[in-house]
Amino acid sequence: MPELPEVEHTRRNLERWMKGATIVHVAAHDTRAVKPKPRAFESALVGRVVKKIERRGKWLRWTFDDGSLMFGHLAMSGWFEPSRAGAPPLRFERVAIDVKRGKKSMRVSYVDARRWGGMTLATADTPTWKKLGPDPLIEGIDEARLLAKLARRKKTTIKEVLLDQTLLAGVGNIQAIEALWKAGIDPRSRASSLAAKEVSALVRGLHWTIERTLADLAKGDEGEENPFMIYGRKGTPCPRCKTVLQRIELGGRTTTFCGGCQRRLGRGRLGAGRAKA
């Protein structure tokens, strides 16, 4: 489920459900989903008041009244779901957090079939959090800095580099695919082959797809089954040029792209051999 837009959507939900609330009960059903171990996790959280919930890339950070922190990651299949305090556990529920704000009580459940995500308590920012690159929605993307960083990645394709969370925080497989399509850049292009002009188009593409996905999430159930322009649409015509979309693998991840209007960079020199789309 989650890349930057989904995690931001989740953060907004969590803020509505938990901000300013007191944690009255916690049940960690799965030892893999929490750190420290369930009993210690539960007792550390009970009685805490949620002061704020922030996001950086795909990571969430809760700050509590005593200054302690909780980091959360949804990995591939995690999400948070509201329900009634005291309700029986949901399918694949790993953690249930019961909160109370004024007279209102509710439960916030962490559900994760694949069990790759979870929550970690801490007293300071984790190394992983600190290493995250700029977040497109928080500090934005500095194109000159991005260009300089891409220039050092001589071997790797632009698609693979975009998934590096220390370069930009929050870009995942789908957002990378969509942004490259929007920018008209072939995902197989070496990262170092992008010039300022292409970096600029890519940054616009990233903002475009992030905002688009957020808008779709805001619709709730009204959203479409596949709200993306080309992700998951192999074999269908490109919405822009009608060429049949292809699917390949890059760095172990499925990549959809259009061979008709996404240009392969870094081939030939001085523009030789580059056909107009």
Q: How many residues bind DNA (CB under 7 A)?
A: 35
Angle, CA 108 vertex, CA 84 and CA 98 arms, to 5°? 70
Examine residue 115 and tell whether it contacts DNA (CB under 7 A).
yes
Examine residue 63 and tell whether it contacts DNA (CB under 7 A).
no
Contacting range for DNA; rule: CB under 7 A; set: 2-10, 180-188, 195-203, 263-271 = 2-10
Examine residue 163 and tell whether it contacts DNA (CB under 7 A).
yes
Map residue 243 onto helix, strand or coil. coil
Cα–Cα separations (whole angstroms), residue 272 to 9, 201, 266, 267: 45, 21, 10, 8
Which of 51, 114, 219, 242 is the binder for DNA (CB under 7 A)?
Answer: 114
Examine residue 1 and tell whether it contacts DNA (CB under 7 A).
yes
Contacting range for DNA; rule: CB under 7 A; set: 48-56, 60-68, 139-147, 171-179 = 171-179
Whether 2 sits among the annotated catalytic residues: the reply is: yes
Q: Which residue among the candidates 212, 253, 263, 267 is catalytic per the annotation? A: 253
φ, ψ (nearest 5 deg) of residue 62? -90, 140
Question: Long-range contact list for 217-224, CB < 8 A, 24+ apart?
Answer: 217/5, 217/6, 217/9, 218/9
How far apart are CB 92 and DNA at their closest, in Å?
7
φ, ψ (nearest 5 deg) of residue 112? -160, 100
Chain-centre distance for alpha carbon 125:
19
Examine residue 61 and tell whether it contacts DNA (CB under 7 A).
no
Whether 253 sits among the annotated catalytic residues: the reply is: yes
Which residue's CB is nearer to DNA, number 41 or number 59?
Answer: 59
Interacting residues with DNA between 234 and 273 (CB under 7 A):
247, 251-254
d(CA 185, CA 166): 22
Examine residue 116 and tell whether it contacts DNA (CB under 7 A).
yes
Which residue's CB is nearer to DNA, number 46 or number 75?
Answer: 75
Amino acid identity for residue 211 in this structure: E
Amino acid identity for residue 144 in this structure: A
- Residues whose CB falls within 8 Å of the CB of residue 253, separated by 6 or more in sequence, listed in order: 159, 160, 163, 173
φ, ψ (nearest 5 deg) of residue 15? -65, -45
Q: How far apart are the first and last CA of the chain?
A: 33
Interacting residues with DNA between 135 and 154 (CB under 7 A):
149, 152-154
How far apart are CB 177 and DNA at their closest, in Å?
8
Active site residues: 2-3, 58, 253
| Contact footprint for DNA (CB under 7 A) | 1-3, 6, 32, 57-59, 73, 75-76, 92, 113-116, 128, 149, 152-156, 160-161, 163, 165, 172-174, 247, 251-254
